[in-house]
Amino acid sequence: MGLLLLLILIVALIAVLPRWPYSYEWGYSPSRVVGLILIIILILILLNLISFWKVEIKSNDDETIIKIEKQG
């Protein structure tokens, strides 16, 4: 779910760039809004508030085990 949202936002960011004559009147406002939303989503992913995988880390003196499972 989160990965799909991220991909949609990246495509939307590319789509709102002013490349056509009629869209030059808009300026960069639409791409700023979509870019801001994308940055917020990326920060939430980095803070692990939105997760794509479940990560478990177990450590003892000899070894560290990292277990990663796909969420969803």
Look at residue 27 and tell me whether its pLDDT is greater than 80: no
What is the rounded CA–CA span in Å between residue 52 and residue 13? 21
* Structure tokens, 59: 């450590």
The confidence score (pLDDT) of residue 2 equals: 66
Look at residue 51 and tell me whether its pLDDT is greater than 80: no
The confidence score (pLDDT) of residue 65 equals: 85
Mean of pLDDT values over 9-30: 75
What does pLDDT average to over the chain?
77
Look at residue 61 and tell me whether its pLDDT is greater than 70: yes
* Structure tokens, 71: 């969420």
